[in-house]
Chains A and B, each alone.
Chain A
Amino acid sequence: MTTATPVREAAPDAAAVPPGARRWTRWWPAAALAVLVVVPYSAMPLPGLLDGPIGSAGSLQLLALCLVFGALATGYDLLLGRTGLLSFGHALYFAAGSYLTNAFMTEAGLPFVPSVVLGLLSGTALAALLGSVSLRVSGIAFSMVTLAFAQAGSLLVERDPGGVTGGEEGRAIPADALPSSLTGIGNTANLYWIALAYLVVTLAVVQWAVRSPTGRVWEGIKENERRVEVLGLRPYGFKLVAFVLAGALAAAGGVVHLLLTGGATPQTTTSDFTLSLLVMVVLGGSGSRWGPLIGGVAYTWADQRLGDLAGSGAVAGLPSVLRVPLSQPLFLLGTLFVIAVYVLPGGMARLPHRVRTARTRAVASRRPPDEVGKAGADGATRTG
C-alpha cells in the first residue's frame, strides 16, 4: 500500500502504470507515426478490416480517406470542443478548398501548385468573410446562420453556374492537370503520404493553437463567455481566429480529398456532411487530443466497409431483422452516436479512463474502511 501511494500522488493520471513504462508510453505517437509512414511497403493482410493487403491501392485509398476525415474532424473540434461553437456549416470550407482548387486548374488553366495555393487562400478568405458575419450572433442563431450559408453553397454547387461545379455529377480533375506522380493506381502511396502529412500538420497546428494564449481564451469562452468579457477581452476576435483556423484546415483537407478521389463531389457540400463531422467528433470524444481523430477514422472505416460487409455472405445469411439495419452504415452510426451522447459523454477517447476509474473504485470497495474514503476521494477528483 505505502509503495503505491506516492506514485499515485506524483502522477495522478498515470494510475497504476509504473514510472519507467510511463516514460516509454509517452513516445507512442512517434511510434504510431513511424508505422503509418511505412504502411505502403507492407503486404500484411488484415482480414475483415481491409479488403486486401495493407499496401494494396484499394486499402491505401481507404486508409488515406480515414486519415483525411480524422484530421478534418480534429480541425472541426477546434470549434466544437475547444471554443464551444456549434457550426453546422463546416462542410462549406472543405468543399470550397476542393471545388476552388479544381476550378483554378480546369477553368483558369493554372498549373497544379499555384492552384492549390490559391484554392487554400480563397477557402480561408471565405471562412474569414462568412465567419466574421456569422459570429455577430451566438448560440443557436450562430448554428443556423452557418447552416444557411452552407446550404446556400450546396444549392449553388448543385445549380452548376457556368458549368464550373458539374452539378450533381461533380467535377473530375483532368488527368493532364496533375503531376504524373499523383495520378494512376500505382501512385496511391504518394496520395496516402500526402493525407498522412495533412493529418500530422493538423494535429500539430491544433495542439499548438490550443496551448497558445489564444487557446486558453478559447477554453474560457467555451466555459463562460460572459466572464471572458468581464476580464476585458473581446470574445469575437478570438472566436473568429478559431473559425478561420478551422476553415483553413478544412480547405486544406478539401484539397487532399480532391486529389485522393480525383474530383470534387457535391456530397461534400451538404449539411449531412457537416452532421457526419459532428458525429465523428462526438463519437471519438470532443475536446480531447486524439478523440476526433479516432472518431473520424472509425466513422470513415465503418461508412466504407460496413456496406461491403453487408453484401458479403456472412451478413446475407442473417435473418432480415439483423440484416436490414446492418446494410445501412448510416443507421448504425446514427444509433451509435445517440448511444454515445448518452452513456459515453467523453466519447471513445475517455473510455480507457472510465474503465480505469471503475476498476479503481472496484478495488477501493474491497479495501478496509479507512482506505476506502481516501481512494473514493481520489477517484472523485479524477472524474471531475
Chain B
Amino acid sequence: MSTVVLLAVTGLGLGALYFLVASGLSLIFGLMDVLNFAHGALLSIGAYGSWWAASGHLPGAGSSGAGFVLAVAFGTAVGTLAAVVLELALIRPLYDRPREQVLATVGVGLAVPALLSAIWGADARPFPGPHALSGTFGLLGARIPVNRLVLLAAALLVLAALRLFLGRTRHGLVVRAGVEDRAMVTALGVDVRRAFTLVFAIGGAAAALGGALGGLYYGSVDPGQGTSLLIFAFVVVVMGGMGSVAGAALAAAGVGLVQQFANYYTASGLGDLAVVVLLAALLLLRPSGLTGRLA
C-alpha cells in the first residue's frame, strides 16, 4: 500500500511538472499553430535562473524561506522575459511562414542549452533548496518527499490562474476565441496577434516555474533537462488536445502516473517507452488529436 501511495504521489508530482511545460505549449500551438521546440529551453532558463539566484548571486535571494521564493520568482521572471523576447524577435517576423517558425524554435532549442553548458558546464549542478522542502512526511504509511507537494500545489495554482484568466478576462476571451477560430476572430476586427506575445509570456512563465521547481524535484539542474522533458510534454499536449488547459492537466496526471507505475512494476525505462508509444498510437488512431484540433 505504501508503495502505491508513494508511486501515485510521485507520479502526480511528475505530472505537475509536465503540466507546467505542456499548458504553455498547448496554448501556443492552439492559438498560433507553432510547435515550440524552444519550450524546453525556456524551462532550462527558468531552472538556471533560480539556481543562480538561490546560490547567493542575487542579493536577498537564498536557499531558504523568503529568499528561496524570491529566487524562484527571479527564475520565472527571466524565463518570461526570454519567452517574450523569443516571440518578438524570432516568431513575429515569420508569421506568414509557419514552417520557418518551427525551424527557428528548433535553432533556439539547440543553442540555449549549449550556451548554458558553455557558461556553467555540461554537468549537473546541485540545486540548493530549503531544508523544509527536502524532508519527507507520512501519508497512509508511506514516506513522501515534500517537494512533490510543492510541485502539485504550484501546478494547481497555475491551473486555477489560467482558468480564471481564460474564463474571466477580456484578453482570455480573445485567446480562447483565437484558439477556436483564428480567421473568424481576425475577420471580426480583433487583432489576435497581440494575444500571441501574451500567450508566449504565459507559457514561458509556466515553463520557467516548472524549471525552478523541477530543480527541487530532481535535486539538480543540467542543461539538457528541458529538452528531455519536452517530448513528454508533447505527449501531454497531444493527449489533452491542443489549446485545452484542462485537457492538458488531466493528460499530464495520466502520463505521470502511467510512467511511474510502469517503471516500477515492469522493467525500469519501460514506462517512458510506453508513454512514447502511446503518443504514436494516439496520433494514428485519432489523427486530429483527441479534441480535433491537430492538423
Contacts and interface: CB of A to CB of B under 8 A. Distances in A.
Contacts of A159: 267-270, 273
Given A152-B273, A155-B272, A338 B294 contact: no
A152 B280 contact: yes
B262 interface: no
Given A148-B279, A155-B272, A338 B35 contact: no
A355 interface: no
B90 A155 contact: no
Contact of A147 (B104, B114, B231, B277): B231
A337 B105 CA distance: 10
Nearest to B234: A144
A93 to B, nearest CB: 16
Contact of B283 (A148, A333, A337, A342): A148
Range of interface residues on chain B? 35 or more
B260 to A, nearest CB: 16
Contacts of A279: 106-107, 110
A233 interface: no
A278 interface: yes
A143 B276 CA distance: 14
B284 A341 contact: no
Contacts of B227: 272
Interface string A335-367: 101100110010000000000000000000000
A143 B267 CA distance: 28
Interface in B275-289: 276-277, 279-280, 283-284, 287-289
A338 B90 contact: yes
Nearest to B237: A144
Interface stretch (B115-123, B181-189, B200-208): B115-123
Interface string A124-162: 000000000110111111011101110110011011000
A114 interface: no
Contact of B273 (A155, A325, A337): A155
Contacts of A212: none
Nearest to A329: B114
A338 B104 contact: yes
Nearest to B112: A334
A155 B234 contact: no
A208 interface: no
A151 B276 contact: yes
A320 B163 CA distance: 45
A105 interface: no
B99 interface: yes
B108 interface: yes
Given A282-B103, A331-B118, A338 B238 contact: no
B4 interface: no
Contacts of B268: 159
B287 A141 contact: yes
Given A144-B283, A147-B231, A341-B100, A333 B277 contact: no
Contacts of B283: 137, 141, 144-145, 148
Nearest to A337: B107
A282 B267 CA distance: 40
Interface string B22-51: 000000000000010100000000000000
27 contacts: A86-B99, A137-B284, A137-B295, A138-B287, A141-B283, A141-B289, A143-B35, A144-B234, A145-B283, A148-B283, A149-B280, A159-B267, A159-B273, A276-B110, A278-B103, A279-B106, A279-B107, A328-B114, A328-B117, A330-B111, A331-B114, A333-B111, A334-B111, A337-B103, A338-B104, A338-B111, A345-B100
Which 10 residue pairs across A and B have the least CB separation, nearest first? A334-B111, A330-B114, A334-B110, A331-B114, A338-B107, A328-B118, A337-B107, A148-B280, A148-B279, A137-B287
